[in-house]
Amino acid sequence: MNKDALPALVANNISKTVILSNSSSNNADAEKKITIISDIELSIEHGESVAIVGASGSGKSTLLGLLAGLDLPTTGAIEFYGKQIQILDEEDRAAIRRSDIGFIFQQFLLVPSLTALENVMLPAELSDNNEIRTKAKENAQKWLDKVGLSHRLDHFPNQLSGGEQQRVAIARAFITEPKLLFADEPSANLDSVNGHLVEDLLFELNKSANTTLVLVTHDPALAKRCEKTYIIKDGHLSLQEVPKPKLADVTPIQKAKQDAK
Amino acid sequence: MQSKLLTWLGLSFRLFKREFGRGELTVIALSIVLAVSSVMALSSLTDRVQASILMKSAEFLAADKDLVSPTEIKKEVYEYAESLNIRTDKHIYFSSMAFAGDKMNLAVVKAVTQNYPLRGELFIEPLNEESEIFKAKGPEVGNVWISKRLYFALGQSSQIDVGEGTFAVSGIIDAEPDAPFQVFNSGTRVIMNINDIPKTEVIQPGSRVTYAGLFAGEPQALEELESWVKPQLSESQKFRGVKEGASNITSSLERAESFLMLAGVLGVLLAAVAISVSARLYSQRHLDSIAIMKTLGASVRQVQVIYLTQLCLIAVVSILIGLVVGSGLQNIALISLAEYLPKDIPDIGYRPFVVSIVTGFVCALMFSVPALLKLFNVPPLRVLRRNLGDGVSSSISAQAIMATTTIGLVWFYSQDIKLTGIVLGAGLVLSVLIILVSRLLLVACRSASKRIDNPSLKLAIASLQRRSKENVSQVIGFTLAIMLVLILFSLKNSIIQEWQEQIPQGAPNHFIINISQQNIEKIEQRFSEKGIQPEQFYPIIRGRLTQINDEVLKQKRPEEADDGAKFKGKGEFDDNSETANKTQEQANKDKEEARNRLWT
């Protein structure tokens, strides 16, 4: 069976409940159950770009954590290319993330003591694939060149601007050529110019690499650039029944490089 | 193709390179250097001083071990010793008249093999005064070396008779390593070859002869020989070593070593507190990095390899620096103590290295791993929930690990359960007190902060309260270190006092014996020239104390008081004292009483 024929990601009726306990009280009643998301149904095809839109506190990040295998649902099942991930332990889920998933975060989350080049090399060095590991440096240089940062290889994160850091994070997300890419508010911490630059880069690279993209954002305009939009409100997810929007014009990469210089 | 492990190690080394020199890792490294260098300096110093004293003692025995026996020693003993690569020597001691023409004198004869001496050096002065003193082994068959006094007593004859044998005097004994300390009868020594004994026909049934087997070799082989020989010994045979011979000095040294090592614990404890605090800060700062790595798919094993390799690198580098610094400090100490120590100090053995390296690794691992273990368990979800995994405070099990390690180290260095118990008990009481007092203070601060308007002060108090556990554990660590300083101070005083009590005040350090009446003036003059005030010149006569101040002394000399002199023919004239019959305990008591009376 061709694995790529399977949906990239399927969420079957997943819910997440947390228990808040008041540590200063010994009373058992002080424990409070909060359902953050409930009855989530979702299916994402391979190569598709999907936006999950919601206001702050709506459960976007919780859903992202569950879909990426960073957290486990209280009920329901999540399938990653047909493989149920909620029954796997952390080590097995880490192995899936290592080989098939890329991440871009709002706070960039680069390792501060590694240079831009080393940060991009990091997922490749952690990979189980020999070839990816061996070519880590070469590919890292290639991806940094693609995001217009070939002149910043030896700079540490604190020596880079926000936009540059996010571009390093994008290069890091793509180096292992993952099947699925999660982007959590990728431009929320950037000014509008850099934000758009990063968004353009993300969509362009995603398109050329044919990666499935799950984009979590509160920005409806950004969500429109995806093929499908889900709206999350009070922990409930619904598909936005609107015509499939066109991808916005992307900034040419040459221009991005020029801007960076 | 690059192996996974190599890639991870490369990543670890890169992180190490960046982190080293900034912040916590430097503190951890310096702490390990402190612990290792203090332990290295103290243990190597005591080891070397002890070894040098033992080596000196071995020279007095002319071997590492000897087996003294009133009957001939079985040849199997020598064969077994030689099979263990132990060098051997055989001695026979007896007293006999030595004759030269019409002159005669009672001589103390020591027959030796040509292996003699196994330890120390024998110097012989040729009869021809123009030749120089030379270093020698045992005399050849037909030759004897005699003491100067005997040489003159026998009219400077170049040939003497012992029993039925006639021997050429081929030299005068200048220095004999195992020379007996003979107050009354010094210097009538004859050293002959053991193969000449039959020629003398002196040894007859019933003769008073002492046989000795001497052994020198590696400590392990000697131990093996000892454990093989000892069960076969009769009551009248003794297997002795240097340690037994110098038991007073070695036990004093062992006590000094325990004390110094306890001082080493202080360094280790301070290092431990610094390491645990730094490791916690380091962990706190790396929570995000590890969460990122885990999100990118790093397994716990990968994270462990990356971070524990860094710790090992720090430990190895710091331990090496610590060893070098410790050796340097130890050398400085030896140079400053050179006046009081023997000239030839043996090299540092392996023990101080082992002790220091173990200390370094124990410090590095046991006091930082609890914080690192917390770090390894940071959930990857922290990348989305930023406060997840915060508060890398020490868990109870982590604190238990550190407390057990500290107790283990105190015991390891002091080798004294009682002392460890005292340190532990005092530590527990102090810890409880500190916890109670700090809780009270925190409660007082909380209520006071409600009445304070100063926002900075409020913030400071709030921060104190938020980190109350960490603060209390740090205070406990530093208080324990201070407690150890106080214990060391009181121990130092008691050890010095104990040593001082062993020797009465004003006891002389040196003795000169065998001064003839006509020489007293000259010697007094010599002393006054040198500015030395001798206490008094006492006439010495041989005799036996039978009564002190109306108290009749018991007759038997306790076996313990026998330092082997009698066995080895060094006190042949000290006879007829073995008649009475009483317990060892009583004998010791009497000896002690007699000594006390003599000193007062």
Q: What is the pLDDT of residues B149-202, one digit of tens each?
A: 888 888 888 889 988 889 999 888 888 887 765 555 556 889 999 999 998 888
Residue with the two structure tokens 């290639």? A142
* Contact criterion met (CB below 8 Å) for B144 and B172: no
- Cross-chain Cβ contact A98/B288 below 8 Å: no
- Cross-chain Cβ contact B18/A101 below 8 Å: no
Residue B534 lies in a domain: no
**pLDDT above 70 for B554:** no
Q: Is B175 on the interface with A (CB under 8 A)?
A: no
What pLDDT does A115 receive? 92
- Look up residue B51 and give its two tokens: 């070894």
What pLDDT does B508 receive? 74
User: How many C-beta atoms lie closer than 10 Å to residue B433's C-beta?
Assistant: 12
- Cross-chain Cβ contact A125/B8 below 8 Å: yes
Could you give the CA distance from residue B49 to residue B224 in angstroms, rounded to a whole number?
25
Kindly state the percentage of chain B with pLDDT values over 90.
8
The conformational region for residue B120 under phi > 0 = left, psi -120 to 50 = alpha, else beta, is left
Highest mean pLDDT out of A172-186, B238-252, B260-274, B586-600: A172-186
Could you give the CA distance from residue B348 to residue B357 in angstroms, rounded to a whole number?
14
Facing A133 at nearest CB: one of B7, B15, B288 = B7
Q: Is A8 on the interface with B (CB under 8 A)?
A: no
Task: Write the burial class of residue B344 (CB in 10 Å: 0-12 exposed, 13-18 middle, 19+ buried).
Answer: exposed
- Cross-chain Cβ contact B295/A70 below 8 Å: yes
Instruction: State the average pLDDT over residues B278-307.
Output: 87
* Contact criterion met (CB below 8 Å) for A251 and A196: yes
Could you give the CA distance from residue B141 to residue B193 in angstroms, rounded to a whole number?
5
Do B164 and B40 share a domain, yes or no?
A: no
What pLDDT does B391 receive? 57
Higher per-residue confidence, A2 vs B583: A2
Q: Is B7 on the interface with A (CB under 8 A)?
A: yes
B21 pLDDT tier (thresholds 50, 70, 90): low
Instruction: State the average pLDDT over residues B251-256.
Output: 68
Task: Write the burial class of residue B60 (CB in 10 Å: 0-12 exposed, 13-18 middle, 19+ buried).
Answer: middle
- Look up residue B89 and give its two tokens: 């020597």
B561 pLDDT tier (thresholds 50, 70, 90): very low
Residue B235 lies in a domain: yes
Do B253 and B323 share a domain, yes or no?
A: yes
- Look up residue B199 and give its two tokens: 């020629």
Q: What is the pLDDT of residues B531-547, one digit of tens each?
A: 887 777 888 776 777 88
- Look up residue B462 and give its two tokens: 């709030």
- Partners of residue B466 in chain A, C-beta under 8 Å: none
B243 pLDDT tier (thresholds 50, 70, 90): low
- Cross-chain Cβ contact B1/A134 below 8 Å: yes
Higher per-residue confidence, B498 vs B113: B113
Q: Is A218 on the interface with B (CB under 8 A)?
A: no
Do B78 and B141 share a domain, yes or no?
A: yes
Q: Is A97 on the interface with B (CB under 8 A)?
A: yes
**pLDDT above 70 for B77:** yes
Q: Is A92 on the interface with B (CB under 8 A)?
A: no
Name the domain boundary from B382, B415, B448: B415
Q: What is the pLDDT of residues A78-136, one digit of tens each?
A: 999 989 998 998 889 999 999 899 999 888 899 988 999 999 999 999 998 888 888 99
User: How many C-beta atoms lie closer than 10 Å to residue B258's C-beta?
Assistant: 18
ipTM: 0.86
Give the number of beta-carbon pairs within 8 Å between A and B. Answer: 86
What pLDDT does A130 receive? 87
Higher per-residue confidence, B374 vs B572: B374
Nearest by Cα to B123 from B142, B143, B137: B137
Could you give the CA distance from residue B73 to residue B212 in angstroms, rounded to a whole number?
7
- Cross-chain Cβ contact A97/B4 below 8 Å: no
- Cross-chain Cβ contact B384/A123 below 8 Å: no
What pLDDT does B587 receive? 42
* Contact criterion met (CB below 8 Å) for B123 and B136: yes
Do B308 and B437 share a domain, yes or no?
A: no
Domain that holds residue B198: 63-248
**pLDDT above 50 for B600:** no
B118 pLDDT tier (thresholds 50, 70, 90): confident
Could you give the CA distance from residue A175 to residue A173 in angstroms, rounded to a whole number?
6
Q: What is the pLDDT of residues B347-374, one digit of tens each?
A: 888 888 998 998 888 888 888 877 887 7
Do B402 and B271 share a domain, yes or no?
A: yes
User: How many C-beta atoms lie closer than 10 Å to residue A137's C-beta?
Assistant: 15
**pLDDT above 80 for B560:** no
Residue A52: phi and psi, rounded to 5, are -115, 115
Residue with the two structure tokens 């209520």? B447
User: How many C-beta atoms lie closer than 10 Å to residue B442's C-beta?
Assistant: 16
Name the domain boundary from B248, B274, B309: B248
Look up residue B343 and give its DSSP letter: S
- Partners of residue B18 in chain A, C-beta under 8 Å: 113-114
Instruction: Tell me the nearest-neighbour CA distance from B318 into chain A, angstroms.
Output: 22
Strand partners, A231: A53, A238
Q: Is B289 on the interface with A (CB under 8 A)?
A: yes
- Cross-chain Cβ contact B14/A114 below 8 Å: yes
Facing A70 at nearest CB: one of B10, B302, B380 = B380
User: How many C-beta atoms lie closer than 10 Å to residue B303's C-beta?
Assistant: 23
Q: What is the pLDDT of residues A218-248, one digit of tens each?
A: 888 888 889 889 999 888 888 887 554 444 4
**pLDDT above 50 for B327:** yes
What pLDDT does A168 receive? 93
- Cross-chain Cβ contact A126/B289 below 8 Å: no
What pLDDT does B584 receive? 40
* Contact criterion met (CB below 8 Å) for A61 and B295: no
Q: Structural domains in chain A?
A: 46-72+88-260 (3.40.50.300)
- Partners of residue A61 in chain B, C-beta under 8 Å: 384-385
Do B232 and B256 share a domain, yes or no?
A: no
What pLDDT does B251 receive? 66
State whether the Cα torsion B229-B230-B234-B240 is positive or negative.
positive
Do B90 and B34 share a domain, yes or no?
A: no
**pLDDT above 80 for B288:** yes
State whether the Cα torsion B508-B512-B518-B523 is positive or negative.
negative
Look up residue B174 and give its DSSP letter: E
Peptide bond into B117 cis (omega under 30): yes
Instruction: State the average pLDDT over residues B45-56.
Output: 77
Nearest by Cα to B258 from B445, B382, B82, B412: B412
Facing B384 at nearest CB: one of A122, A126, A184 = A184
Instruction: State the average pLDDT over residues B253-262.
Output: 71
B541-545, long-range: CB < 8 A, 24+ apart: B542/B184, B542/B573, B544/B577, B545/B594
- Cross-chain Cβ contact B11/A128 below 8 Å: no
Do B244 and B255 share a domain, yes or no?
A: no
Instruction: Tell me the nearest-neighbour CA distance from A107 into chain B, angstroms.
Output: 9
Instruction: Tell me the nearest-neighbour CA distance from A95 into chain B, angstroms.
Output: 6
What's CA A5's distance to the chain center, in Å? Answer: 22
Residue B509 lies in a domain: no
Do B268 and B235 share a domain, yes or no?
A: no
Four-point Cα dihedral A250, A251, A254, A260, nearest 10: -140
Q: How far is CA B37 from CA A155, B355, B408, in A?
A: 38, 11, 19
Do B4 and B116 share a domain, yes or no?
A: no
Residue B519 lies in a domain: no
Name the domain boundary from B399, B415, B431: B415
Q: How far apart are the first and last CA of chain B?
A: 86
B573 pLDDT tier (thresholds 50, 70, 90): very low
What pLDDT does A95 receive? 92
B232 pLDDT tier (thresholds 50, 70, 90): confident
Facing A91 at nearest CB: one of B292, B300, B383 = B300
Nearest by Cα to B498 from B256, B278, B262, B296: B256
Looking at chain A, which runs of residues are DSSP E strands?
9-20, 32-44, 49-53, 75-80, 83-84, 101-104, 180-184, 212-217, 228-233, 236-239
Do B241 and B107 share a domain, yes or no?
A: yes
* Contact criterion met (CB below 8 Å) for B177 and B124: no
Could you give the CA distance from residue A237 to residue A67 in angstroms, rounded to a whole number?
13
- Partners of residue B14 in chain A, C-beta under 8 Å: 114, 118
Task: Name the closest residue on chain A to residue B19, using Cα atoms.
Answer: A113
- Partners of residue A107 in chain B, C-beta under 8 Å: 386
**pLDDT above 60 for A28:** no
Flag the least confident range among A22-31, B188-197, B290-299, B404-413.
Answer: A22-31
Higher per-residue confidence, B295 vs B482: B295
Kindly state the percentage of chain A with pLDDT values over 70.
86
Helix (H, G, I), strand (E, B) or coil at A82: coil
Could you give the CA distance from residue B356 to residue B37 in angstroms, rounded to a whole number?
8
* Contact criterion met (CB below 8 Å) for A224 and A245: yes
Flag the least confident range among A61-75, B211-225, B281-295, B582-596.
Answer: B582-596
User: What's the whole-number average pLDDT of chain A?
Assistant: 84
Counting the structural domains of chain B, the total is 4
**pLDDT above 60 for B240:** yes
User: What's the whole-number average pLDDT of chain B?
Assistant: 79
Do B406 and B266 share a domain, yes or no?
A: yes
Residue B454 lies in a domain: yes
Highest mean pLDDT out of A166-180, B23-37, B391-405, B579-593: A166-180
Kindly state the percentage of chain A with pLDDT values over 90.
31
HSE-CB for A190 with a 13 A CA cutoff: 22
Could you give the CA distance from residue A45 to residue B205 in angstroms, rounded to a whole number?
111
Residue B568: phi and psi, rounded to 5, are -95, 25
Look up residue A29 and give its DSSP letter: G
Residue with the two structure tokens 């292992």? A176
